[in-house]
């Protein structure tokens, strides 16, 4: 069965032509995509189970886990979802965006397999280290802040995971190198360009991880005497936030890919979209500084320059993509005769029954409103002090990663199942419903966390906040909000389980895919350049977004201004 | 009417820069290293010792 | 065709950008300038900034400083009354040394923060009211002096919000402002 899953109707040269996209796909690229994609879904299952237990604990009326167990499952939840689910998917995305889109072989495919094996072994080691942590070691959570000690095996596992990922990324870079050498005058397709930018951002993040975790491992085993807390934080967040920026760049690349594939989007302006990716390339990892706003040591100037991604350069990039992607969809659909009536007909007639499309569309909207706005607000040096280490922080990153990126990757996996594993989806109706259920439930959960953190200051990483020994003070006023969190998160886990059910069920029991070309792709709409078609619906939506953004911005600063005075 | 897709003269420098992906990658990594890592470390190293 | 899956051919740099996209670019750029300018402006003119002088100090030396301060302070039923404008807080698994402390509203103090052991989070809340809270990071090896001035009297609760081990959730202290 396993061999059957990895097989496809290749020609003698190892290539096949995709009946849907027209891409020329080589076995050496496609097999690793399957391996990494499947592994990502396994990580999703592990992290999702941990998520349920964490949510039912933070819903303190249920309080299913004792504190020691809570930190264990919180660490498993963080590493399996934020890191393993994401990073395995992203390596797969590199192989799709690189050799598959370019129609090339993957160079040195053995490196891909070695990288995969090292990553899997490391992930198991990290999970094992977390599972068996006992005093004097502390659970690492995600950040493993020195000088709090975690298990030596944990740090070792992180180092080897990073190395494995670097090895797995090498064939992608080699492929790009070959393409550029053979065709120096050719411009890479936008999706490939986005994948390249994602890859470089990843290399920065991974190098930061090695700078952090190699010395920390040596410290833990007694070869290095002292780890400076401030240095650790500054270096750690290169990988800590950098991995999230990989998620962002990969997700945006997937958005361009999926809106085109499922609904007929085109690129509204090559130079504008590429310019935005270059802004990401230069500035996005500076956002690691978001975590150091309330820190001593680093100067205010350093804080403001880095937290703003160089005068909001990377935020400008996000705002550009926020317009360019729906605009490409609107103009692309109008060009293909699918524009419908009025300002939003192009959106109303879009294939909302297709989970690949609905997951992508929901990802775009929810990421922007929930994750994007809160991220910029919390990244402002002064506003950060009201949110730092409260539940508002997980609220933000559940909006970005758990809603936005996860939905985008779910949509992509649906199509990987269809076009790469060549299986029809089982439980078709469940598949159609799943992105909506997940998106809605996870959004409510994220907003509940944000409210608990913003209104009440409920701390993050704390299993029992509604009663504190030795004092009357507590966060019990937040109990209703924590109940909303528990319920909504549980529904989200169920929706995640449905996704896994459909994904795994399709792989095991799905019929052979009929390879029908989505209707929009079959209509070419002629040769007129896409920028001639109206993008007024998109502009209206983006203006609305900006108004909402400005309102929350104003509110946050108003609240800050009412605080006591602090700072020199 | 001009067809903007005609393969005509050499691409302007802006297009060539956007196509020089390895150069851009190098510049970006150097920029990040200076802006975030080096400047931050200078800040930390210049924290004076307490009395 | 401008497919994201195909190489754009020709001089794509010269392809027109729609008026709507250009409008959005202008607005987005303006918003970014506002975001940056406001933050910088507040640093210069605003009353809330996570800024203050930092010095390097070993945990042992800081502990000695806090203990010396506690000896100089006046002890009351409600807490310590600092001898001057310096208020010392030493974070330790799992207690806030130097707290409870009694301060005066409207008076400008220098809040000294450092840790004797691991990283802690100084999470300050006013009277369990909504929204009125801030959080500063407390690191071993670094003493951070943050000027602070409480406008309103009341009881301000300190709850550690950086995971610091098994007793983390019990690490509570108080600042009473009269």
Alpha-carbon Rg for chain A, nearest whole angstrom, is 23
> Is residue A166 in a domain?
yes
Count CA atoms within 13 Å of residue A88 on its CB side: 28
Question: What's chain A's length in residues?
Answer: 568
Q: What is the pLDDT of residue B3?
A: 47
Q: How close, in Å, is residue A427 to chain C by CA atoms?
A: 30
Nearest-by-Cβ selection for C118 from A67, A101, A148: A148
Domain that holds residue A119: 2-541
Q: What is the pLDDT of residue C1?
A: 54
Closest-CA residue of B relative to C10 is B7
**Interface pTM (ipTM) of the complex?**
0.96
Asked if A17 and A23 count as a contact pair (C-beta separation under 8 A), the reply is yes
- Residues of chain B contacting residue C56, judged by C-beta atoms under 8 Å apart: 47-50
Q: pLDDT tens digit string along A14-69?
A: 999 999 999 999 999 999 999 999 999 999 999 999 999 999 999 999 999 999 99
> Is residue A554 in a domain?
no
> Is residue A290 in a domain?
yes
The pairing of strands C54-56 and B48-49 is parallel
What is the overall mean pLDDT for chain A? 96
> Is residue A452 in a domain?
yes
Q: What is the pLDDT of residue B8?
A: 45
- Residues of chain A contacting residue C172, judged by C-beta atoms under 8 Å apart: 468, 470-471, 473
Asked if A161 and A119 count as a contact pair (C-beta separation under 8 A), the reply is yes
Alpha-carbon Rg for chain B, nearest whole angstrom, is 21
Of C75, C128, C95, C55, the closest CA to residue A465 belongs to C128
Q: Is B46 on the interface with C (CB under 8 A)?
A: no
Residue A406 three-state SS: helix
Of B6, B22, B8, the closest CA to residue A179 belongs to B22
Asked if A545 and A552 count as a contact pair (C-beta separation under 8 A), the reply is no
> Is residue A169 in a domain?
yes
Q: Is B6 on the interface with C (CB under 8 A)?
A: yes
Angle ∠(C159,C164,C169) on CA atoms, nearest 5: 40
Closest-CA residue of A relative to C6 is A189
Of A257, A255, A209, the closest CA to residue A236 belongs to A209
Residue A285: asked if its preceding bond is cis (omega within 30°), the reply is: no
Q: Is the pLDDT of residue B5 over 50?
A: no
- Residues of chain B contacting residue A281, judged by C-beta atoms under 8 Å apart: 24-25, 28
Nearest-by-Cβ selection for B35 from A196, A297, A305: A305
The residues of chain A scoring below 50 in pLDDT are 1
- Residues of chain A contacting residue C149, judged by C-beta atoms under 8 Å apart: 564-566
The residues of chain C scoring below 70 in pLDDT are 1, 128-129
CB count in 10 Å sphere of residue A511: 11
Contact flag B50-C12 (C-beta cutoff 8 Å): no
A520: CATH:
1.20.210.10
- Which chains would you list as touching C if contact means 3+ CB atom pairs under 8 Å? A, B
Q: Is the pLDDT of residue B7 over 50?
A: no
Residue B3: asked if its preceding bond is cis (omega within 30°), the reply is: no
Buried-exposed string A181-219: b where 16+ CB fall within 10 A, e elsewhere: eeeeeebbbbbbbbbbbbbbbbbbbbbbbbbbbbbbbeb
> Is residue A533 in a domain?
yes
Q: What is the pLDDT of residue B49?
A: 80
> Is residue A560 in a domain?
no
- Residues of chain B contacting residue A306, judged by C-beta atoms under 8 Å apart: 35-36, 39-40
What secondary structure letter does DSSP report for A513?
A: P
Distance separating alpha carbons of residues A191 and A198, to the nearest angstrom: 10
Q: What is the pLDDT of residue A59?
A: 97
Sign of CA dihedral B15, B16, B21, B26: negative
Q: What is the pLDDT of residue B1?
A: 41
> Is residue A445 in a domain?
yes
Contact flag C128-A477 (C-beta cutoff 8 Å): yes
Nearest-by-Cβ selection for B48 from C10, C11, C56: C56
Q: How many domains does chain A have?
A: 1
């Amino acid at each position: 069965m396993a061999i059957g899953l990895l097989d496809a109707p290749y020609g003698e040269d190892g290539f096949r032509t995709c009946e849907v996209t027209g891409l020329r796909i080589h076995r050496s690229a496609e097999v690793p995509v399957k391996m990494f994609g499947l592994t990502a879904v396994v990580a999703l299952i592990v992290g999702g189970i941990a998520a349920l237990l964490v949510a039912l604990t933070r819903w303190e009326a249920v309080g299913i886990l004792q504190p020691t167990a809570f930190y264990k499952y919180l660490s498993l939840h963080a590493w399996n979802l934020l890191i393993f689910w994401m990073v395995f998917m992203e390596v797969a995305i590199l192989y799709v965006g690189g050799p598959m889109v370019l129609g090339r072989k993957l160079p040195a495919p053995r490196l891909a397999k070695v990288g995969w094996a090292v990553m899997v072994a490391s992930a198991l080691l990290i999970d094992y280290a977390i599972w068996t942590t006992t005093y004097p070691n502390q659970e690492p959570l995600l950040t493993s802040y020195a000088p709090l000690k975690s298990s030596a095996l944990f740090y070792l596992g992180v180092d080897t995971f990073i190395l494995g990922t670097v090895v797995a990324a090498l064939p992608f870079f080699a492929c790009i190198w070959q393409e550029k050498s053979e065709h120096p005058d050719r411009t890479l397709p936008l999706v490939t360009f986005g994948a390249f930018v994602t890859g470089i951002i990843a290399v920065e993040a991974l190098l930061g991880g090695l700078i952090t975790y190699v010395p920390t491992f040596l410290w833990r085993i007694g070869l290095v005497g002292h780890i400076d807390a401030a240095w650790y934080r500054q270096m750690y967040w290169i990988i800590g936030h950098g991995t999230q920026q990989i998620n962002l760049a990969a997700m945006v690349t997937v958005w361009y890919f999926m809106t085109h594939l499922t609904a007929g989007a085109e690129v509204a302006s090559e130079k504008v979209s590429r310019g935005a990716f270059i802004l990401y390339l230069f500035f996005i990892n500076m956002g690691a500084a978001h975590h150091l706003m309330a820190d001593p040591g680093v100067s205010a100037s350093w804080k403001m320059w880095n937290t703003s991604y160089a005068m909001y350069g990377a935020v400008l990039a996000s705002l550009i993509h926020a317009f360019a992607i729906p605009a490409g969809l609107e103009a692309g659909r109008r060009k293909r005769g699918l524009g419908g009536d009025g300002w939003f007909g192009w959106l109303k007639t879009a294939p909302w029954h297709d989970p690949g499309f609905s997951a992508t569309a929901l990802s775009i909207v929810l990421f922007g409103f929930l994750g994007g706005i809160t991220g910029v607000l919390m990244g402002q040096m002064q506003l950060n002090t009201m949110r730092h280490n409260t539940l508002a922080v997980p609220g933000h990153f559940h909006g970005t990663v758990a809603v936005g990126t996860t939905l985008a990757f779910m949509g992509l996996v649906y199509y990987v199942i269809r076009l790469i594993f060549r299986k029809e989806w089982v439980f078709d109706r469940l598949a159609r419903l799943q992105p909506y259920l997940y998106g809605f439930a996870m959004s409510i959960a994220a907003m509940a966390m944000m409210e608990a953190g913003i209104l009440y200051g409920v701390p993050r990483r704390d299993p029992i906040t509604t009663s504190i020994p030795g004092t009357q003070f507590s966060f019990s006023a937040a109990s209703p909000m924590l109940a909303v969190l528990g319920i909504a998160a549980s529904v989200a886990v169920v929706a995640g389980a449905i996704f896994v059910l459909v994904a795994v069920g399709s792989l095991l029991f799905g019929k052979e895919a009929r390879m029908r070309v989505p209707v929009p792709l079959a209509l070419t709409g002629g040769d007129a350049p896409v920028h001639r078609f109206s993008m007024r619906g998109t502009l209206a939506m983006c203006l609305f977004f900006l108004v909402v953004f400005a309102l929350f911005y104003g509110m946050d600063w108003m609240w800050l201004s009412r605080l006591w005075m602090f700072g020199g | 009417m001009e067809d903007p897709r005609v393969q005509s003269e050499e691409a302007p420098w802006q297009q060539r820069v956007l196509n020089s992906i390895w150069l851009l990658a190098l510049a970006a990594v150097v920029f990040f290293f200076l802006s975030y890592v080096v400047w931050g470390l200078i800040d930390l190293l210049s924290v004076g010792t307490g009395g | 065709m401008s497919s994201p899956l195909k190489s754009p051919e020709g001089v794509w740099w010269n392809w027109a950008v729609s008026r709507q996209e250009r409008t959005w670019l202008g607005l987005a750029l303006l918003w970014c300038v506002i975001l940056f300018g406001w933050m910088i402006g507040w640093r210069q003119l605003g009353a809330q900034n996570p800024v203050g002088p930092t010095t390097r100090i070993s945990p042992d030396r800081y502990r000695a400083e806090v203990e010396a301060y506690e000896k100089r302070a006046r002890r009351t039923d409600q807490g310590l009354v600092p001898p001057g404008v310096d208020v010392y807080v030493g974070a330790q698994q799992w207690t806030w040394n130097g707290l409870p402390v009694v301060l005066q509203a409207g008076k400008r103090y220098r809040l000294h923060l450092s840790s004797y052991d691991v990283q802690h989070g100084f999470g300050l809340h006013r009277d369990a009211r909504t929204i009125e809270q801030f959080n500063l990071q407390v690191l071993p090896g670094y003493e951070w002096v943050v000027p602070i001035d409480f406008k309103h009297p009341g009881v301000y609760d300190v709850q550690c919000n950086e995971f610091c081990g098994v007793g983390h959730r019990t690490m509570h202290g108080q600042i009473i402002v009269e």
